[in-house]
């Protein structure tokens, strides 16, 4: 038995920058959802976060995240830490989005198994990171993040909203793409 993977929808921010991106008609015919992201914002600082919600549920206490992070910067410096918390701002997981850096881009990937079943709460795996300021070895920074998250609901996921938590930190046009895939046993 193999797996087939299909693109459900791909959204590239073009023209004007936007505050949010939504996937509003997610079919319930797949076993697994995968959201792949590359993104930037116009944040005046180096990074801005991302808010994720499912099915329009904006109740912050319904979202939990657990992560481990490795940070490299300024040549050979390295630090690692982990943490957890509640809230739908998963900027700690898919990856902060480089703002003022011309060469920076963040990436992220969320895998949600059994998204369409209605008996268990949803859990997911998250990976992401970014590389910014590649002007010199003394300035560059890299970050890798791995973790899991959960949504405290048994509802089938039929909508995903991705929003910048700060109205002034919009997703930049022509540098931001979100692609939603469905995996199916064949």
* pLDDT tens-digit series, residues 74-91: 655 555 555 555 555 554
Contact 88, 52 (CB under 8 A): yes
**Distance (Å, rounded) from C-alpha 63 to C-alpha 29?**
24
d(CA 92, CA 168) in angstroms, rounded, equals: 19
Residue in the block written with tokens 């850096």: 101
Q: What is the pLDDT of residues 38-74, one digit of tens each?
A: 877 766 555 566 788 899 998 888 888 777 777 666 6
Local confidence band at 92 (pLDDT 50, 70, 90 cut-offs): very low
* Structural domain of 158: 3-185
Question: What total number of domains does the chain contain?
Answer: 1
Task: Name the pairing type of β-strands 122-132 and 20-23.
Answer: unpaired
Which domain CATH number covers 107?
Answer: 2.60.120
Alpha-carbon distance of 58 to 75, in angstroms, equals 40
């Amino acid at each position: 038995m193999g797996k087939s993977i299909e693109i459900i929808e791909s959204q590239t921010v073009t023209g004007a920058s936007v505050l949010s991106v939504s996937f509003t008609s997610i079919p319930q015919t797949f076993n697994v959802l995968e959201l792949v992201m590359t993104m930037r914002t116009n944040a005046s600082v180096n990074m801005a976060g991302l808010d994720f919600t499912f099915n329009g549920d904006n109740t912050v206490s319904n979202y939990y995240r657990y992560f481990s992070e490795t940070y490299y910067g300024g040549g050979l410096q390295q630090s690692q830490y982990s943490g957890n918390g509640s809230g739908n701002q998963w900027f700690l997981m898919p990856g902060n989005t480089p703002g003022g850096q011309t060469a920076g881009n963040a990436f992220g990937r969320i895998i949600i198994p059994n998204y369409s079943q209605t008996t268990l709460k949803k859990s997911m795996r998250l990976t992401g990171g970014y590389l910014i300021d590649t002007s010199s070895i003394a300035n560059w920074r890299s970050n890798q993040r791995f973790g899991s998250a959960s949504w405290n609901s048994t509802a089938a996921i039929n909508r995903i909203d991705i929003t910048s938590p700060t109205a002034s930190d919009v997703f930049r046009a022509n540098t931001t793409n979100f692609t939603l895939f469905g995996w199916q046993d064949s």
